[in-house]
Structures are given as C-alpha cells and as structure tokens.
Structure 1
Amino acid sequence: MALLTFTKGGVHPPEAKEQTAGLAIEVMPVPDELELVLGQHIGAPCTPTVARRDQVQEGGLIGEVKKGLGVPLHSPVAGTIKALGNSGHPMRVSTPSVTITVDHDVPAKEYIPQDWQQLEVSELLSMVHDAGIVGIGGAGFPSHVKLSPPSSTPIDTLVLNGAECEPYITADHRQMLEHARDVVEGARIICKILGVSRCSVGIESNKPDAIQVMEQEVQAVADSQLTIEVCALQVKYPQGSEKQLIQAITGRKVPAMSLPSAVGVVVHNVSTARAIYQAVALQKPLYEKVITVAGKCIERPANLQVKLGTKISDIVNYLGGLKPGLTRIIMGGPMMGFAVSDLDIPITKTTSALLFLAEDEVDTNEPGPCIRCGWCLDACPMGLEPKEIGVFVEAGRAEDTAQFGVFDCFECGSCAFVCPMKRPLVQFVRLAKMKIKR
C-alpha cells in the first residue's frame, strides 16, 4: 500500500520516539498545589469566577470567557483557592492564573458513560463548549467554533490527525493504542455535529501498532451511515500540519490565508476527539492531559496523564529528577516547542511534551549570515521564502515581509532545521508577524 504524503517540502529529523513509544500512559499522583493559567486557548483569556479561600470541586467552573472567543476553565481537583495571581509562561513570561491548594482527602470524581446518540446537534455543541474543549494538538483553538463552520463552506469530510510527526512525542500514539474506542466514538460525535458521513484518520507509518488497533476499532463500530478509514502516512515532517495533512489524505489544496473549511474539510487531533467523547458521553470537562516526558536528561522518561496546572518541577520530582548535562528544556516538541528556563511553569491544555535535552541532542552552534543556498526554500512545505524574511527582518524592514507570505507560515521550523548557518528563521518570522500586526 502506497503511503500518503504532501507534495512540497518537508524534512526528516531524527524521530527519537523509542524512549517512550513502548511506555503505557501512567497517571501521575496529584501534587499539593496546581496553578491554572487563565489563557489556555486562542482568543480572550478567562475571567476568574472564584475568589481567594473559595472551596472548589473537581470539574467545577473556575473561569469563563464573558466576551470574545474562548471556552470555560474547570478545576481539576477538589480544594481551596489559594491565590489569584500570575504564573510563568513559555511565551508571555508571566500570565494571570488561579492557584488551588489540593484537598487529598476528597476521592476522585467518577464519570459514568451515557448514550449520546439521541442528543441534538445544538446540545452536542453546547457540551463541547461547556467542557472547555480546545485543539489539544495545536494552538488551542476552541473546538466548538471549529465545529460550527460557516454555511457558505459546506463540509463533507472530517480528518483526524494521528500523525504526531514531531520528534520525541508519543502521547497521541499511546492514546490511540490504549483508548482507541474513545477516539473513534469522538470521531462519530464530531461527524454528527458536522453532518458529514466520511472520516479519515491519518497515522504515520512509524506507528504500525496504532494503525492496526485503530483499524480494528473502526471495523468493530462499522456504521452504514458513516465511513471511517485509517490512512497510513509517509514519515515526513510536518505531516501533521492541517494543510499538509488535508493534501496528503484528500488531494485538496487549501488556498493561502484560508481555513480547511474552504475545501470542505475539518481537522481535529485524535486526542481532541477523545476529549470530545469525554465531554459528551461522560460530561467530563477538559482538566487533565497526556504528555510525553523525554530526553536524555530526565531520570525516567514517561507518557504521563497529569492535571492541568501541574508544574514542571512536580513532574521532574515524580520522575526521579534531572541527570547531569542538561542543556535545554523544551515545552512541546523540538521543532515547534519553546525553550524554558523556569521549572515552575504549569502544564496547560496545549502542552504536548516536556523535553530535557543533553548537549548532543541540541545544536548549539552560533548562527551565521545567509549564504543564499536555497535549502530553506526546498524545505518549506508552504513554498515560502524564509531566507528573504530573515534578511528583511535583520535590515529593520520586518513590515515589508508580507510580500513573502509571512502570514502563511505556520512556524514548523523546517527551514531552520536545514539551514547550514543555523539562522533563527522561525524567530525572524515571529518578529515580522508581531511588527506587522502592530
């Protein structure tokens, strides 16, 4: 069987998934304190609905968006509100948060599956919103909005993203292996909301066990009204990007500056599909995450299920501490994640991994001037000119980079990966976008 892929660009970084691919998801004990960041999604941050010393229950509302794009935030535990303050953040340095002191004497809440198939689409959408579901595998776009595309762009296909093309990360892989039924049920719920009868699940071929398990689950819930197929994808980064995934599976090309709905497709991550199942069938809010913890400088790599608001330091302590030689800490994957220097930063809905990298896992060479080799043009999956964007930013002309398609760039890092001079091309793009918006 031919493996599917996109046509333009792409790179093949070392996969480095062997550390955790065979490790089952492990539930981390709840620490004594959690810090819940109020802005865990694209759009307006939550306004706290609690005050200091308030008692909260597991799954209880602690923040809501009263105006603008957003979703509510829920307490992952029973406990007491310790403070309304600020927490560390990998991008914004610090950000408003709610700190909860955990009451370990209260037993964990139990959720019992309910039949969802008789519910109306409007009810399903409300449940997805009320549970605070956002895109778990990406930038955190509110899922209920993604599930309400404009009527001018009719949708005919759902694509579930199980590619997990970033090196090191295996959280989606393990969820497909261990919770395939939840993922497929989530897909069925999404298809009912969208009113579509076709779903494709894209999984890279380096996860043959996940492909097999998902195919078995799809066959087990065969439905004459809904066609679900599992598609094996070529191992190539950034295979999991929305536009590249859509082209690989459907052959359709999303126009520049357009959303996938423009070609009749909606894309959701497999972990988001599982969260949507939990929101609808269990009425369970999104307040815990499966993340991969890897790298040569963590004592014990793992795939962990953690409560939102758990600090990096608590995770490090639980896994036995750090090894000597730590060079860099990354929140997320090595291609699109962010380097952090503070272990008190808390986990959010969009955290996919924590990487503790040794010197031989990191390129620490100093960047040099552009030599016009053109490698970044060959690597860019969007067909952009990263070298020109970088040169213009260095020359103080960031505002003039729109002509090179800077806003079509989704910051995958392929250009920086292949650059022989190790130029910070992604940082140049981010700076250009920021200055143009200002």
Structure 2
Amino acid sequence: MGEQRRPNVILLVIDTLREDHAGGLEALRDLGFVKYENAIAPSPWTLPSHVSMVTGLYPSQHGVHEAYGVYAGTMMELSRQRMSKLDRGIIGELMKEGYSAYVISANPLISAAYGFGGVTEGLVADGLCRRHEECRDYERLITTLSRREGYLGAALELIRDGEVRLLLSGLRMLTRSRLRRLAGRLGLHDPTMEKGSLAILDFLRGRSFTEPFLMLINIMEAHGPYTVKDMNGQLTLRAFLEAVFFNRLDEEVTNLNRQSYPRHAAYATRRALEIIHALKGYLDRSLVIVTSDHGELLGDGGVHHGYFLKDGLLRVPLWVRWPSWARPVKQEGAFVSLAQVPSIVRAAMNGEASGLGSDVVLAESFGPEYRPERVYREGELPREAIKRAFSHRVRVYTRRGSATYNVDSDDFEEVSGDTQELTRGRPSTLLAKGP
C-alpha cells in the first residue's frame, strides 16, 4: 500500500444511459479518462443502484430495494434507515476524514429524503429551474403544496407568511411550465429535453468548493419522458406494467421511445461533458468517475427500466480519470460492478496498484418498482402473475456467459453461454461473498 493521498472524488451519474448509446463519452479520452469495459449495474433502477455505488454492497445486502408492497414512492423511510445504518457508505466515510460532501441531483430519489443527506450542501434540480436558486424555491414550494389542497391554498399560505418573493418565483415557474407544454403541443419546443442539468451547471460554475470534497452528481437528460405524448409518463408506465405482468409489449410506446431515446442519450452525454469542463480546474487533484445507474429497454427484452435483468438495462458506461499522481489501475477482471466504486475510491487514496474488476458480477431484481394499482384495479391482476413478478432474481455475468436465476423458485430462467458451467452453482452463494 502506498502513501495515502486525499483526492477530490467526483461521481457523475448519467441516469438511464445505455452503454451502446454512450458513444458521446469518447470525448473523455482527450481529458485523460480511461474506459473500463463490461461495467454492470447492480440493479435495473435508480435507488438500489446508487446505494450500491456508495456502499459497495449488492441490493440484497444493503436492503434498499423494491418488494411486494415496497415501491419507489414509498421507500423514503426504508432508504433513510438503511443509509443511516451504513453511514451513507463512502459519503460518511470520507466526511469523517475531513471531506466536504455535495449531492447535486436531478433525480429526487438521490436526495436527503432517501438518505443522501447530512452533507455540506445538497441540491435537487428540476427541468423547470434555470438557476440553482430557483431549485431551492421549487423545493420549498413543493413542501408548501404538500400541506395544502391545490395552488390557491398554497398561495394564501405564502401570502400569510410574507413569502411574496417565493410566491412570485412559483408563479414564474408555473407559467414557464404551462408555456413549455403549450409550445410542445404546437411543435415549437420540445419540453422533454431539459431535465435539470442547466441548474446543475449554474450551481457548479463560478464557485469554489472546499477541498478535499466528494461530489455526487446525477443528471436526468437520458431519462424519460421521451415524447410530448407521454409528458406525464403514463403511457410508458402502462406499457411497462403490461410487459411485467402479462409479457405483452406495447409496440406503439416502444417504437416512440426507441425513436426518441438516441436523441436524449446524445443530449445527456453533451451535458455530462459540459459538467466535466465546468469542474476542469479540479481534475488533476480528483478521482472522477463517469457512469450510469442503469439503461433503458427499447423493446429488447422489455420496455422502460426496473424489474427486467437484461443487457440493455444492466450494461452501462464506466470512465475514470485518476488523480495526476496516481497511475491508472488496469482492468484485470472481465467485468466491473458499479458496487466496486468504493474500491476504486480507496485505490486512488491508497495508491493501490491491484487490478480492477471481477470475472463474476451480479445484478438483482425483486419485482417492479411501481405500485400495480397505479394502472390496475384490485383483482384485475392474476395472483400467479403477481407472485411471478415479485420474485428475487439474480443475473450472473461470467466469462462463460450469463444467466438469470430465480431465487424464490430455485430455477434458472434464462441461460446464455456454457449452460453446464453457469448452472453448476447457485448465485445466492456468490451474493454472500459480495462484489
């Protein structure tokens, strides 16, 4: 082990970016980044994958994952408790070593509400915000709206509290939202493109950060909605649940998303490069990791993200820029799990020269992350379909191929490669070992 150094740590997550649509990131080579091959997300959706990235644990180990009755919208308390118990992984670990910590996210799942709090500064960005100060106002307005029935009640409360400036800010954002939607319907503007990175760039530019720091950034430009027809996401949600429970693929929704996704992915990679350039003054003193938490299915085994353990969801880009004093670690294993992010951080801090990667990595699913009742009435779903959907599944990637194992039924559901080798053991024993 070499002398311990204290590089800044920047983890930039391009939410929902598939590896095969991440070609725009090749420009990172000119900035000294190294690409690592066959990076695998530990979960097919945001929250479990991010928790794995900061804790170094698979979803079944850290416990922040979906289950029957446990969905994305109801996981706040569970996620906060688990993250607190794990001291927020490398976030808490580095803060104890004197690091400042910043969590700057366009995805509300990566926020203090879900356990990513207690940091030096946090920001939840939204596509309605052009400047980061507006995002602060937006958060306060959402809190006020949650206490009141509708806009009028919220406005009256703000007036009573003397929050006229906040009320005016809210009116500006509401007007902007309505105009964007109208322009979208008229074909004058695409309101699905901007999803918060403008405000994140505003936050990063023209300010200095106390070093050493850890910075977790999530941008959402590759995430849906992808078309004006699906601004509220209901078309994709129904198509997703139809695929989960009835194995039916909605061709219209799938085709719409398949046609639009490449444009959003390209836009997201351009914004990611802008963010890296905004932080250029810190790069030589930093470990910078650029990746994605999961991809998006475009008819290749399903639609949307979550639940399915398919390559289009699990194969993600992974680029690393090592600090100027560190020699880039070579990839020795065939795969790199995103649950190995804490190991990458420790390698940069300790000057470890051991290889990166593993010959066996896993991904897990426990069911759809959306409540079925958002689409189906009680009794509309066959009991057997519910039982099948809410099963613990593990996807195993090895040099000999890949396989999906249903832990609950003790059955290999899909095998690609050397069948005898892949089905010899049980993935549950691999889970016990960790990434």
Q: Same fold (TM over 0.5)?
A: no
Q: Which has the higher strand share?
A: 1
TM-score (norm 1): 0.29
